Amino acid sequence: MATMGTKHVEKDAKRLFYVNPWLHNLPHHRLPPSKGSSRYGIIRKEPKPGCMSTIESIVMALEILEPETEGLDKLLDVFDYMMEDQKVCMGERYTRLEEKVRLGRSQKSDLATNGSSN
């Protein structure tokens, strides 16, 4: 059982676990915190730093639990393809979002260099 998502989903998953004692006998694993950001990039905002998509989390889990499994990177290739398709579908909206992020980074860099916003 892979549980991930918002705090509401996590709360429901914990409740499900505790009301079903037979689940207690199954192996439990927690993923280490992600050091990077999700492949979603600017298409979807992460609820908090280090969050990943479901497919990214499952691939990470399989890499840890079954490191000899080949082809896991192909799952992420499909995800990347989907993200590229999403950018095309968003069209101008994606371009504006990309510009907004670029300007935000530029302003943060200026603040760090100059020490103030004035």
Annotated domain spans of the chain? 1-30, 32-114
pLDDT value for 53: 81
pLDDT value for 8: 59
Model confidence, pTM:
0.60
Which whole-number Å values give the CA distances from 42 to 8, 46, 89, 91, in the listed order?
Answer: 23, 9, 14, 14
Fill in the amino acid letter for 36. G
d(CA 75, CA 81): 10
Question: In the chain, count of helices (H) and strands (E)?
Answer: 4, 0
Per residue of the chain (118 residues), what is the pLDDT tens digit? 555 555 556 788 788 888 999 998 988 877 777 766 677 766 677 667 777 788 888 888 898 889 999 999 999 898 888 888 888 888 888 788 878 877 776 665 555 656 554 4
pLDDT value for 87: 81
Q: Which residue has the tokens 């990077």?
A: 36
**Closest residue by Cα to residue 38 from 49, 27, 24:** 49
pLDDT value for 104: 76
pLDDT value for 66: 92
pLDDT value for 50: 73
The contacts of residue 111 (CB under 8 Å, 6+ apart) are 117
